[in-house]
Each structure stands twice: as C-alpha cells, then as structure tokens.
Chain A
Amino acid sequence: MSCLMTLSHAPYGSQCAKESLDAALILAAFEQQPAILFVDEGVLQLLPTSQSPASHKHIGKIISALEIYDINDLWVEQESLDRFGLVADELSQTVNVIARSKVARLCAQYDQHLVF
C-alpha cells in the first residue's frame, strides 16, 4: 500500500503538526514510508528554525528525522509557498514543488491518502 499524507497545519499553536508527523514516522517504522505533501500553513513546518516554543517539541527536529526513516518523497504546493512569500530553497529539506492544479494527479498515484 502506498500512502500519501497531506499536512496542512502550522508547526506550533496546536499538537496537530506533531501528531501528524508521529503518524508518518510510525508508518515508516512499519515499512510503509508515506509520501508527504505540505500545503497551506503546513509548509511552515519546513522552515529552518533554531528554537521552538517551550510548550512544543521542536518540529524541525522531527522533520529532519524523516530522512532517517527513509521518508524522502516530500512535496510542497507552489501556491502555499507563494502565500507565505517562500521559495523552496529556503526550506530545511529538499522538496518537490507541485502546482495546485496537479495535486489531484499526485493523489491518484497513491493507494491511500491520509489528510491532517
């Protein structure tokens, strides 16, 4: 089963980013490495930041662990980057940038789609 996860939540402010990344790592631990698509505020999870709020675990550290778990298929929606004035080079990971109009086609390539 191939799985695509869509992460749309900001890194801090709620536990959602942390919990969705936990799910990604667990899938990988079960040898079902998901592809991950970052959209909306989810793209902010990929910003290189040195500190996290005291109330949260450092999302950047979890993001950098994806590679160790062989989760290498990372996608970022172009329109979401534009919304925050970001370019892919500024992100902490090497990502594939995809236009919103092609996201449906991306989803269709996977058996499962887990949306957070």
Chain B
Amino acid sequence: MAGFLYMSDLNAVISPSIIPTSLTYVIVVRCGPDQQSQALSAFRFTEELLLQGHQVLRVFFYQQGVHLASGLRVMPQDELNLTTLWQQLSLDYGLELAVCIAAALQSGIVDQQESSRYELAGASLASQFTLVGLGQLAAASAECNRLVSFGG
C-alpha cells in the first residue's frame, strides 16, 4: 500500500502528514530511575521518534516508572536527571507525559489537587507531568499504530 501511494501520488509523498513511514506511537515506561539504562532507553527512543517526525500520542508512566515524575529527586551532578530530560522533551514537542494516578499516589507522587484532597504535606509531581487514570493507557492504545513498552 505504501509503495502504491509513492508511485501514484506525488502529493502524498511531499505532504509530511501522510508520509507512509510516519506512525503514531504510545510509549509505556514501567522502569524507574533506579533502572537507569532501561529508563534512559525509553527516553532516547521517544526522542528519536520525535526527531524522525513520528507522532507520540502519549508517554504513559506506570509501576516503577512513576518515580520519574517526581520533582523532588536530586541526582548527583555528574549523572543524568531523567525527569528534567522528559520535561524538556515535553516542552520542545508538546509531548504528553501521563502518570498512572493509582501507582503515583502509592509512591508519594502527588499534584497540588491530590495533596489537598488527602491533606498531605505538599505536592511532588514535576511540572509537565499529569496524573491520569489507567484508562488513558487503554484509550491511547486503541488509537496508536505502535505501542512500545520499556521495563523488565
């Protein structure tokens, strides 16, 4: 089909929105900051997708991955802070960073609203990240061409 488009309709090739090789992705990050190499792979892969012009509908942080959404973690100066990398990628591309709310609450990752609701001492969710239900993973998976999951 892709080959057929290429041969028959030059406009289809020129317009970036219908380049047959551009796909929509959903990324699931299940590994946390303590699994540095896997978590970094998830980031690099997503970054590369965006650089190559693919669309990333949503990055979904689940299980240990929710710790990447903490704005209260401090890394040694010579080590990568994956949270700030994700934040910058989100700012650059308007990328949606969705965090499973059930997993986040259990890990002390709360936004101002949840902090008030449960009368906690403060909020810890890093900016650019949003707390959403697990249903948002299901909704996104129904829409994407590819769903890629990181974490063992």
Contact = CB atoms under 8 A, between A and B. Distances in A.
Contact of B138 (A16, A19, A32, A115): A32
Given A16-B63, A27-B138, A29-B135, 18 more contacts: A1-B142, A3-B141, A19-B63, A19-B103, A22-B134, A23-B62, A23-B134, A23-B137, A23-B138, A27-B141, A29-B138, A30-B139, A30-B142, A32-B138, A112-B141, A112-B147, A114-B147, A114-B149
A24 to B, nearest CB: 10
A27 B140 CA distance: 10
Contacts of A27: 138, 141
B28 interface: yes
Given A15-B63, A19-B103, A116-B30, A30 B149 contact: no
Interface size on B, as a range, is 10 to 19
Judged by DSSP, the binding face of A is: mixed
Interface of A: 1, 3, 15-16, 19, 22-23, 26-27, 29-30, 32, 112-116
Contacts, number: 40
A30 B102 CA distance: 18
B125 to A, nearest CB: 19
Contact of B135 (A26, A115, A116): A26
